[in-house]
């Protein structure tokens, strides 16, 4: 019993850390568009933001059918997956499994 509680807490901590990292990254990408950074940082944040956006779009289209079965909030799921990726949908899918 204690092992499952510890495992659950560790998963929640991992998800929180990933969400914090991604939110910080999206803030930097947004600030990069608003303020003038040097050429290196501007290119780095633009490429990084584009790569993450494409990866999260692919994630959304792959996982869309499983997520929309959970509820009918399609736009909400779309934006949350674009921002947080697997850190958003993984706990939802895991909670759907029987025995959880």
Residue 20 has pLDDT above 70, yes or no: yes
Q: CA dihedral defined by 41, 46, 48, 52, rounded to 10 degrees?
A: 160
**Residue 28 CB: number of other CB atoms within 10 A?**
15
CA angle 36, 45, 81 (to 5 degrees): 125
Q: What is the pLDDT of residues 48-100, one digit of tens each?
A: 999 999 999 999 898 887 776 656 677 888 888 899 988 888 887 777 776 55
Q: Is the dihedral of CA 40, 80, 86, 60 positive or negative?
A: negative
Quickly state the pLDDT bin for 3 (edges 50, 70, 90).
low
């Amino acid at each position: 019993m204690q092992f499952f509680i510890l495992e659950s807490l560790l998963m929640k901590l991992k998800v929180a850390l990933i969400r914090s990292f991604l939110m910080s990254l999206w803030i930097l990408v947004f600030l990069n568009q608003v303020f003038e950074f040097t050429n290196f940082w501007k290119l780095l944040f633009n490429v990084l933001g584009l790569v993450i956006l494409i990866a999260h779009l692919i994630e959304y289209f792959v996982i869309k059918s499983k997520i929309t079965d959970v509820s009918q909030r399609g736009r909400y799921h779309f934006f949350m997956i674009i921002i947080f990726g697997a850190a958003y949908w993984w706990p939802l899918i895991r909670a759907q499994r029987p025995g959880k």
